[in-house]
Structure 1
Amino acid sequence: MPTATEVDSTAEAAARRFRLAQTRGQQLLDEVDEWHSKSPPKVSFDLAPDGMGWMAVVHGYDPAPPLDAWGLQLGEVANHYRSVLNTTLTRIWNAEGLPRSNRLQYPVCVTRAQWSRASRVLAPLPERLVRLIYAGQPFVMSRAHGALPRDDVLAVLAWTDNQQKHQVELTASTSPVMNNFVAHAEFEESARVVDVRDISHSIQKREDGKVVILADTRPHRVKTLSTADLWLTTEITFADESGAWTEVRALLWEFLQRSRSVVQELLVVWSDESFDVDRIGGSVDFVSGAAFGKAAVDSLHGSGRWSKDFFNSGRFGEHRASAALEVGLSGVVDGRLSAEDH
């Protein structure tokens, strides 16, 4: 079992890398916010071709967002979060007195075959750590959250880190804030004020790449559109391996929370030989005769235990090893990088 000094020094090293990742991430968000405040989208309004509605066409931005540069910055941040997982595992490996391994890294496996290969490298580690790492793999976690393994946050993080060697794709996506939309239109049968409660909206992308925000007034034909008060918001979004788009601020928050959780779990289980790994969702796949996945956890520990395992409980944060990382992270300026922002 590691000494308190070894646990603390490993936590402090992880905290330094987290602080660097958070600083770089906040710099990226500050640049995005500054651009957004000075670069409103160029929009024109026109009646729909059939007269039953109107279009707000976003032609672009002035100046255009530096998406390539921001993609590089996002890749760098992902690299820092990915690296903190690797360096934490390496420090644990070295503290256990294990021989140097050039193949050692924190595995991120979306298939059982990938895990089979990775587990051979991890085999010299204490079994409780191997079971913990297994339980956090995307192909295991997918049984809890229901998404595809490659859509798990850890898998997206690893993919983004790898993608930085090529190109991280970002785009500017403009959409209306519907609560603030009011239009003054004259219809063929009457004149009245129409707001979002009367009109359905959809966002389309034309072949020329211009964004079209369409107000559909069917079955009412618009005679004239005198004024339209439309509040637009522009988000910088990231395309993952599945082609799903995520707003960059939300993505960075997810990277931070998941990687921090992984490191805390490693520190807790490593520092406590008596820790009951069966309490972790997914780890009971190792128990002889146990059912597979969620059924195994629930059969051993009661219904609903899969989603309410130790690492989702308040007691986890009270563990000394978990608190050691939080002490190292105290004072980090990440107030704007929070779930409240999105």
Structure 2
Amino acid sequence: MKAKKLIIGMSLAGALLLGGCSNKSSNSSSTKVKHVGVLQVVQHPSLDKAYTGFKKGLKESGYVEGKNLKIDYQNAQNNQDNLKSMSEKLVNDKSDLILGIATPAAQSVATATPKIPTVVTAVTDLKAAKLVKSDQKPGGNVTGTTDMVPIDKQIDLLLSIVPKAKTIGIMYNAGESNSKIQADLAVKALKKAGVKVLIKTANTTNDVQQVTETLANSTDGIYVPTDNTFSSAAALSGKIVKEKKIPLVAGSTDHVKLGGLATIGIDYELLGEQTGKMAAKILDGKAKPETMPVQKAKSLKLYVNKDMAKALGIDPNSIKAPK
């Protein structure tokens, strides 16, 4: 009898122990390795910082590479064929979540999968890019952060630097939908101010030099939206405007650091961090893309390239953010 009781007691203890282990395992989702695919359209400072910030946001939310997170990073180097093949790779590898950095990459991923949760960043207008139904209610498998900047304030900033300007040039890649949206808004703001607009576009970085030289010889100032093609060649265009002594206001802070005068822009690392924290909530199962609103940058700041200002004969301290 005692032997029988002992066996029953051991069986119950074993069952409880196994039950406890089972509950512990089911509640420790953080120990399961999550596979995150990343597709970046091209390499340049703003997008690189967005990726750095994304990883930081994930880490701050408990997802650490080499522990419970594996990232497959792909860079298309602005090649459409690469975008397609890399998107398909990330989908076929059955990623738990995919990040698209910049509009072309985001659109390529969205085309490749209607199911895998996808977050995007450095996209100007998610609705116009047909990534979401609306910013408040995305409605599909895509959400993320927008890098839309205050175009009107950036134009006001440029006009405050050259108050007697008669013609302002705008240059961008017409093939980038996000750039076209911003350029149209800039044209509207300039026409409202009574300033003539001269527009030149470039399809590749090989065209940037000629376009910049043309505008530098024909205008009183230049505006460049957050454009991947021109950001990739910011140092080149910066050299030209410095020689011609033409102020250039760009959409992003990183572009200005390399080859512009000033901007009221976004910190792309902070924007990427926001995106990473959104992704973490999706990976945790606490949120779904279809009901997670698109987020805007939480902070904007005036940035002045002091070296460029001095080269143009402008006092850096005289450049102020418009009210």
The TM-score normalised by the length of structure 2 is 0.31
